[in-house]
Amino acid sequence: MRHVDRRYAVALGVLAAVTAVLVPVQAELLASVLSGAGGVVPLLGVVVARAAWVWVGQVVAQREAAKVKAALRKRVLRDATGTPGEVATLAVKGLDAVEPYLAGYLPQLAVAAAVPVAVLVRLSFADWGSALVIALTLPLVPVFAALVGVHTRERTRAQWAAMASLGGHFLDVVRGLGTLKLFGRAAAQARTVRLMSHAHAAETMRALRVAFLSALVLELVATLSVALVAVPVGLRLLDGGVTLHVALLVLLLAPEAYLPLRAAGAQFHASAEGLAVLEQALATTPRTTTTTRRRPPDPRTSPIVFEAVEVRYPDRAEPALSGFHLTVAPGERVALVGPSGAGKSTALAVLLGAVPPTAGRVLVGGVDLREVDRAEWLRHLAWVPQRPTLFPGTVGENIALGTPGADVVGAARAVGLGDLVHARHALSSGERQRVAVARALARTDARLLLLDEPTSRLDGRTEEIVLRATRGRPALVVAHRPALLGEVDRVVEFR
């Protein structure tokens, strides 16, 4: 409940309070009409009012759900960790599940708190005996639900785990179908899939028999109470102990006391997933961006020094880069060569500040890179990644990324993409690479180019075009192709 906006809580309270007035009034008028006292027109009025109020309640609830969902989506966009697919699933589809919780369960919960009280108050004036029966049985519903819940919690949890593992098992087998086929085991698994599913169905049913007991209790309490109220009232009518109006009122109101509880129970199961998603989204911690510190030295005039830099990734035993020393003089063009996995791209990532060194340091003009303002430092660099991402939008927008007002057409022409500036369609991997080069060229203010195999997906002629465009500019180049090696002042070898 702590996730609920205060104003929304108040709105739900008001909605429930009005419903708690409308329900007894409707029963009152209906009892009047049935007992021959007339009053069809006011009854019709209350019915219309109830329908309208349901509509208002839905509008309020939906508006709130949409608002919360949008806020959570933005939060997930900014802060969520995980693979791109996971984040996208949570942000787009996953958060839909908060709607049943916010717009379904919570309003129903408010109604379940208000309406039974109103019913009891009205009944205690009309016929205190019936009110007593309801007042005594009503608490049985949550108490029994809780008792059954406690009893079955462990089993239900185990069951959910089993359910997840069955879904998981099926996905596991289906994903491994290629492997199973390769080793001639696919046919044998067909039987296992069925056996597991059937065994699981039988086991689930055993757990459900207990879990559904809470629903059984709820139904029984509700229906038996109606019987407990209706039969004595009927018998008292025989000797004139109550009026028909009161008898009908009791009969009409008694079920209304239990109805909201049943509805809330049903909504609870539907919204359990929503609550889980909500908690998952709220568990993301805002990313801290430290905006310290000193202006970085200009790489045009300051040397860049890698001092015994080591990088370890948490999920890998071997360091990605270790004991790396390199000095790049201002204006120099240096090629980094060596087998895949030797740490060439990692060295560039360290220079970009994307990966912190686990040991050693990088100095720019004698200043540790960790102490300079990163955004300012990045302004000096133009990076061509090995596998460039193409962002939604036109090729031109991709080239202008982060350099508003750049000479997009000029940069695109320089790499032979002049015709594609307005294109939005999927590009080949070679074209993507050229977009990335154009993007780097568009940063005319950049003092140092970081080129990570910028021509690995290009043919000889296109490679020559790209080389010509970057020729002469200070650069760190990760290279495989010999053509690149002829374009640099110095070659540094990784092992």
Q: Restricting to residues 194-233, which ones interact with another protein according to CB under 8 A? A: 194, 197-198, 200-201, 204-205, 208-209, 212-213, 215-216, 219-220, 222-224, 226-227, 230-231, 233
| Candidate residues 3, 18, 21, 50; the one interacting with another protein per rule CB under 8 A | 50
For the chain, the C-alpha Rg in angstroms (whole number) is 35
Instruction: Pick the piece of the chain touching another protein (CB under 8 A) from 105-113, 136-144, 251-259, 321-329.
Output: 251-259
Site for another protein in 73-92 (CB under 8 A): 73-74, 77-78, 83-85, 87-88, 91-92
Overall size of the chain counted in residues: 495
CA 211 vs. chain centroid, Å, equals 29
14 or 54, CB closer to another protein?
Answer: 54
261 or 366, CB closer to another protein?
Answer: 261
Contact between 349 and another protein (CB under 8 A)? Answer: yes
Site for another protein in 166-195 (CB under 8 A): 167-187, 189-190, 193-194
Q: How far apart are alpha carbons 296 and 133 in whole angstroms?
A: 79
Give the torsion sign (CA, 101, 104, 110, 114): negative
Site for another protein in 23-42 (CB under 8 A): 26, 30, 33-35, 40
Contact between 160 and another protein (CB under 8 A)? Answer: no
Q: Name the nearest CA neighbour of 255 among 223, 287, 293, 298.
A: 223
Contact between 470 and another protein (CB under 8 A)? Answer: no
Contact between 317 and another protein (CB under 8 A)? Answer: yes
> Do residues 252 and 27 lie in contact, with contact meaning Cβ atoms separated by under 8 Å?
yes
Contact between 352 and another protein (CB under 8 A)? Answer: yes
- In order, the DSSP letters of 242-269 are S-HHHHHHHHHHHHHHHHHHHHHHHHHH
Q: Residues 426-455: x/- map of binding to another protein (CB under 8 A)?
A: ---x---------x---x------------
Q: Closest approach of Cβ 308 to another protein, in Å?
A: 20
> Do residues 367 and 298 lie in contact, with contact meaning Cβ atoms separated by under 8 Å?
no
- In order, the DSSP letters of 233-244 are HHHHHHTTSS-H
114 or 251, CB closer to another protein?
Answer: 251
C-alpha to C-alpha distances, 416 to 297, 311, 330, 382, 446, nearest whole angstrom: 34, 37, 29, 19, 21
Q: Name the nearest CA neighbour of 307 among 254, 247, 229, 369.
A: 369
- Dihedral pair phi/psi, residue 477, rounded to 5°: -120, 120
Q: Closest approach of Cβ 315 to another protein, in Å?
A: 7
121 or 354, CB closer to another protein?
Answer: 354
Q: Name the nearest CA neighbour of 115 among 271, 254, 270.
A: 254
160 or 391, CB closer to another protein?
Answer: 391
The DSSP element (H or E) to which 381 belongs, if any, is strand 381-384
| Candidate residues 134, 141, 252, 395; the one interacting with another protein per rule CB under 8 A | 252
Contact between 479 and another protein (CB under 8 A)? Answer: yes
147 or 378, CB closer to another protein?
Answer: 378
Q: Closest approach of Cβ 208 to another protein, in Å?
A: 6
> Do residues 309 and 360 lie in contact, with contact meaning Cβ atoms separated by under 8 Å?
yes
Q: Closest approach of Cβ 115 to another protein, in Å?
A: 14
